Structure 1
Amino acid sequence: MTRAISRGRRAVLAGLAAGVSAVACASQSPASPRAVRIVVDPGHTPAQGGALGVRGIREVLYNDRLAAQLVQALTLAGFDVALTRGPTENVSLEARAQYANARQADLFLSIHHDSAQLQYLEKVTAGDLDAYRTTRPIAGYSIFVSQRNPRFAQSYAFAQVLGEEMRKLGRAPTLHHAEPIAGESRELLAPDIGIYRFDDLVVLRQTVMPAVLLEAGVIVDPADEGYVSDPGNQARMVHAVVVAVRRYVMTAGKTAGRM
């Protein structure tokens, strides 16, 4: 049965993250300055659209929209940002990780929108479209890291600041992925800020830089879908991610040219 991580283990993870970051910075000599490289990964593809939301819209469209806004904001903030795929491209999970590795990215962020297991869903219609809706409220963001990522400690460090900034938006994280049911049972590392461990996520375990997956909201929950579809809330979520990236870079002691 899944259980929340103990305070002691969380302290160890935080300390490990700080230690690894300090060693990494100390071991690299200054080079010609360059912007911090970030790869943003819009989850799913046109061919495999992901979750079907309460409005009958596939998850991939939500992911593409938020990822595009995020790329623009991170670029304006001075980061060197690239997408793993365009809105019309069908790119495999392995190819996304390979792209980020070849680009020598400093940070990888995969953008998704969430659903729930079928036992908590009912099939409905949205106009003439099939759709799914939760039978009970399931709302909030969640963040995933993989211990199979070679920079797990740094991944967790970024997940922490991302969770803190998302929490400041006034939304609680969704904890339904920790339920001991088929398809869930994920280890909940930080229940207060919604961090889960999911070791087998391909884009997290095959990337060689710190990597995190963000589920921005639950699109099968009518209220939460309304939240993530609101342009003002999208802007606030994008701002939270940008602030989290800045905090991570500063905390890790990583400045342009020293990543």
Structure 2
Amino acid sequence: MAPVISVRRRAMLAWLAACLPAHAGASPPATGTRPARIVIDPGHTPAQGGALGVRGIYEVRYNDGLASLLLRALTQAGFDVALTRGPGDNVSLEERARFANVRQADLFLSIHHDSAQLQYLEKVAVGDHDAYRTTRPISGYSIFVSQRNAHYAQSLAAAQMLGVEMRKLGRPPALHHAEPIEGESRELLAPDIGIYRFDDLVVLRQAAMPALLLEAGVIVDPADERYVSDQGNQARIVHAIVTAVRQYVATARIGHAQK
């Protein structure tokens, strides 16, 4: 069954339709006469590993793995793709946005894996390592955009396309970031497909092109961590992202041609 489209989402889709031309179908992945440039940002660094998951593995390893698969898939699909950093690189948030800006990317996509606030977590031991586990089920993906990005309408359009494709995988979006608690209270723009507004995310607001951040899954939730660690599911997530990027670039290509 297709997800129900809320009244709020209908209004947002109408606004996007006024900002962007209609989707053009299976157009080649190009903007103007060159392949579209996509910058993939694997979140966090070896020095600052991000969330600590239920298996005692830091988020950065999940991010690097998914970003590597996505780099290969988008390149094979005909895009001009680059990573903001390699697995061993410690790169600041500002440098990541600067890299994309210098490269004059058409789309910036930051890859992350999610956690939850400490009130929903318990510390557990995995061998000799600490780990964190949810005390109640918290699972699913989330997509973030920033209104401080210079191309907010286009960022939101790309997020809509990605949200629809991620929802097709059969997992509901994670909604815990909208809870009115310390560290959350994010504005939930599209509950049915998991899009949030988070204006102060540095890589999104400093990117000079449409930009979004994907939390692919919740690595402190045992069931969701198993989902995102499964190679078949990783391939399905990558396929969803590539499909959404193709759809977005086809739309942006029409906009470029009309300028």
* TM-score, normalising length: structure 1: 0.90
Provide the residue aligned with 2:58 in structure 1: 58
Query: Contact 2:70–2:238 at 8 Å: present in 1 too?
Result: yes
Secondary structure in 1 matching 2:64: helix
Alignment partners' CA distance in 1, 2:228 and 2:216? 7
Residues 186-225 of structure 1: pairs in structure 2 closer than 5 A: 186-225=186-225
Q: Percent identity?
A: 73
> CA-atom RMSD, angstroms?
2.1
Provide the residue aligned with 2:229 in structure 1: 229
Higher mean displacement: 48-57 or 12-21: 12-21
Provide the residue aligned with 1:72 in structure 2: 72
Code of the aligned partner of 1:114: D
* TM-score, normalising length: structure 2: 0.90
Secondary structure in 2 matching 1:208: coil
1:4-49 residue CA offsets vs partner (Å, 9 max, x unmatched): xx735x44543443343349xxxxxx99721000000000000000
Provide the residue aligned with 2:99 in structure 1: 99
Report the Cα offset of residue 108 of structure 1: 0.4
Higher mean displacement: 32-41 or 83-92: 32-41
Structure 1 unaligned regions, length at least 5: 1-5, 24-29
Query: Contact 1:140–1:171 at 8 Å: present in 2 too?
Result: yes
Query: Contact 2:54–2:220 at 8 Å: present in 1 too?
Result: yes
Code of the aligned partner of 1:39: V
Query: Contact 1:187–1:197 at 8 Å: present in 2 too?
Result: yes
Secondary structure in 2 matching 1:160: helix
Alignment partners' CA distance in 1, 2:202 and 2:112? 14
Provide the residue aligned with 1:151 in structure 2: 151
Provide the residue aligned with 2:130 in structure 1: 130
Alignment partners' CA distance in 2, 1:187 and 1:234? 28
Provide the residue aligned with 2:40 in structure 1: 40
Provide the residue aligned with 1:115 in structure 2: 115
Report the Cα offset of residue 181 of structure 1: 0.1
1:107-155 residue CA offsets vs partner (Å, 9 max, x unmatched): 0000000000000000001121110000000000000000000100000
Provide the residue aligned with 2:27 in structure 1: none
Alignment partners' CA distance in 2, 1:71 and 1:169? 20
Q: Residues 115 and 228 (structure 1 numbering): CA distance in 2 closer, same or farther, change over 3 Å?
A: same
Structure 2 unaligned regions, length at least 5: 1-5, 23-29
